[in-house]
């Protein structure tokens, strides 16, 4: 019985802690508001003196990480092929004909942007890395179960 009471108290304490969002400083909130004006469903997390905002913008799920001074360090966006730059999409369709795009993860840090594209056909999954200039590199290939 004691264990049950202790576990219940521990669970209640963890739930209360998890439900309290971190206090995000004004610099970070201002920078986020200026950069992502149409963001919805914003949820903040604080990890090792960095602030991470998870949100939606134009139906694209995104994450942005800021330092305490409000500097945007990196972003991650998850979307489908319709949002890929046309030069990358064209090269994918040419090089990987017969395969379909399952999803895209766009990573942006500083001036560098990379695209990790998951493609599939009947037998395999393909993870392709692309850069801004349309360079494509097959990172991994998995056999479907």
pLDDT above 70 covers a percentage of the chain that reads 86
Confidence of residue 9 (pLDDT cuts 50, 70, 90): very low
Of 139, 133, 88, nearest to 112 by C-alpha is 133
Instruction: Look at residue 15 and tell me if it is in a domain.
Output: no
> Where residue 106 sits, what CATH number does that domain have?
3.10.450.360
Tell whether 60 and 86 lie within a shared domain: no
Residues 63 and 26 occupy one common structural domain:
yes
**pTM metric for this prediction:** 0.81
89/138 same-domain check: yes
Q: What is the pLDDT of residues 73-92, one digit of tens each?
A: 999 999 999 999 999 999 99
Q: Identify the band that residue 21 occupies on the pLDDT scale cut at 50, 70 and 90.
A: low
Residue 67 within any structural domain of the chain:
yes
pLDDT, residue 20, reads: 56
* Last residue within a domain, chosen from 41, 73, 105: 73
Quote the number of domains for the chain. Answer: 2
Assess whether 32 and 89 both reside in one domain.
Answer: no
Half-sphere exposure of 16 (CA within 13 A, CB side): 6
Residue of 50, 80, 76, 49 whose CA lies nearest to 64: 76
Outline where the chain has alpha helix (H): 2-19, 26-35, 86-95
Q: Name the pLDDT band for 22 (thresholds 50, 70, 90).
A: confident
The verdict on residue 14 lying in a domain is no
Question: Do 105 and 128 reside in the same domain of the chain?
Answer: yes
pLDDT digits (tens, 9 = 90+) for 127-145: 999 999 999 999 999 999 8
Which domain, by its residues, includes 55? 22-73
Both 51 and 103 in a single domain? no
69 contact partners, CB below 8 Å, separation of at least 6: 27
Across all residues in the chain, what is the average pLDDT? 88
Out of 5-9, 32-36, 121-125, least confident range: 5-9
């Amino acid at each position: 019985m004691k264990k049950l009471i202790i576990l219940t108290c521990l669970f209640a304490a963890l739930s209360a802690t998890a439900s309290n969002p971190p206090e995000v400083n004004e610099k970070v909130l201002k920078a986020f508001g200026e950069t992502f004006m149409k963001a919805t469903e914003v949820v903040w997390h604080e990890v090792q003196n960095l602030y991470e905002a998870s949100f939606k913008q134009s139906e694209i799920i995104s994450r942005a990480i800021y330092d305490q001074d409000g500097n945007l360090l990196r972003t991650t966006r998850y979307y489908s092929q319709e949002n890929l730059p046309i030069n990358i999409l064209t090269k994918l369709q040419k090089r990987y004909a017969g395969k379909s795009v399952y999803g895209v993860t766009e990573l942006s840090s500083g001036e560098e942007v990379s695209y990790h594209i998951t493609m599939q056909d009947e037998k395999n999954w393909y993870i392709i890395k692309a850069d801004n200039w349309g360079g494509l590199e097959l990172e991994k290939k998995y056999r479907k179960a």
